[in-house]
Amino acid sequence: MAGRIVDARVVVTCPGRNFVTLRLETEDGITGLGDATLNGRELAVAAYLTEHVVPTLIGRDSARIEDTWQYLYRGAYWRRGPVTMSAIAAVDTALWDIKGKTAGLPVYQLLGGRSRDGVTVYGHANGETVEDVLGEVARYVDLGYRAVRVQAGIPGLTTTYGVGRDRLFYEPADAAIPSEATWSTERYLAHVPTVLARVRQEFGPELRLLHDAHHRLTPIEAARLGRALEPFALTWLEDPVPAELQEGFRLIRQHTTTPLAVGEVFNTVWDCHRLITEQLIDYVRTTVVHAGGITHLRRILDLAALHQVRSGSHGATDLSPVCMAAALHVDLAVPNFGLQEYMRHTEATDAVFPHSYRFADGQLHPGDEPGLGVDLDEELAARYPYRPASLPVNRLEDGTMHDW
Ligand code: EZ4
Ligand code: CO
């Protein structure tokens, strides 16, 4: 028995980028970790945890994961939202870590055991020119990846989402006050199909290809893009439209057979229940950290399984190794796993969060350590103080604010 929670600490560290981590400790000396990182809004979640959650955790039975989730969700009255749900996620993830360590089992065993041998991941190939992109795809193939997301610079635009300065470690949060990018849907729609055509032509039919439109199109524009990409057989077109409007996907669906993925900004099942039950999407990209932890992500994926929607959890670098480990345990266990995004963390981040998950042959394996298999080196973390960094904003060429 792990017993009651006697300590709860929020650790903010910036080994290259900001991470917020909750560490819980029980009376038996068992510790659990949960990721609470919300890119560009880190201190809001840290304050939510410190001011409103941590005081309610001390003395609580660490074994009662579901009850604690319900307490934090129903008990807040102000439900949902990325700040609240990331805070709940951190507590939930840390409690699963503790339960695993208490049982002497990796978390995936607590979730029903493995449903597959490993977790197939996709990497991010990106470059300014088509030639750069082809070189980057080749690099991922050489590294063993079986699935690659393809993002390219758009002629006429100075910066484009997904195209970074550092190829392996893409980080869009680049300034304390948001930097401003310029967007043109016309330029984008004219160019992107030519890039995917070249990549498919060079690499043949077996490599799985993906593309992220990053919430910038209207439904009919997305329908047109989906149709234009059909010959290149994408595994998915991601975030075609801003997804507050779940009904918007009906229009896209009427026009294209390109599979659709969405959900990295969703916080609860209520953001995607219609998308799932009406089969308007193929992959739901909700994550452990932003969608209420392992407990709530599994609830979303169970609903998705009933409707033949598969998982495709967000795995960008702004989700810490604690979230990545938790995602891998879920991915290994659920029947309807699809694909896991995997952007490598920097060496500094990996040193602050030593972890047992490993990449081999295009797959990640969470390892068999009890719990999540991730630690936090607090001494090292303390050497990297918080640095304000925001995600950019987007304007059309005439200055109109647009979705980033
Ligand atoms: O822009 O995680 O699919 N991945 C993505 C990411 C998001 C960042 C935002 O913090 O869309 O690159
Ligand atoms: Co995305």
* Residue whose CA lies nearest to ligand 1 atom number 11: 214
Q: What domains does the chain contain, in order, with CATH numbers?
A: 5-106 (3.30.390.10), 110-368 (3.20.20.120)
**Contact 289/37 with Cβ under 8 angstroms?**
yes
Q: Give the pLDDT confidence of 204-234 residue by residue, as tens digits.
A: 999 999 999 999 999 999 999 999 999 999 9
pLDDT at 168 over 70: no
For residue 320, what pLDDT band results from cuts at 50, 70 and 90?
very high
Q: Give the pLDDT confidence of 321-376 residue by residue, as tens digits.
A: 999 999 999 999 999 999 999 999 999 999 999 999 999 999 999 999 999 999 99
Q: What is the mean pLDDT of residues 91-109?
A: 98
* Residue whose CA lies nearest to ligand 1 atom number 10: 39
pLDDT at 164 over 80: no
Residue 159 has a pLDDT of 86
Q: Which ligand is nearest to the CA of 320?
A: 1
pTM beyond 0.95, yes or no? yes
Q: What is the mean pLDDT of residues 270-297?
A: 98
Residue 42 CA to ligand 1 center (angstroms) comes to 15
Q: Which of 264, 340, 341 has the most ligand 1 atoms within 8 A of CB, as the residue to mutate?
A: 264
Q: Give the pLDDT confidence of 112-149 residue by residue, as tens digits.
A: 999 999 999 999 999 999 999 999 999 999 999 999 99
Residue 167 has a pLDDT of 64
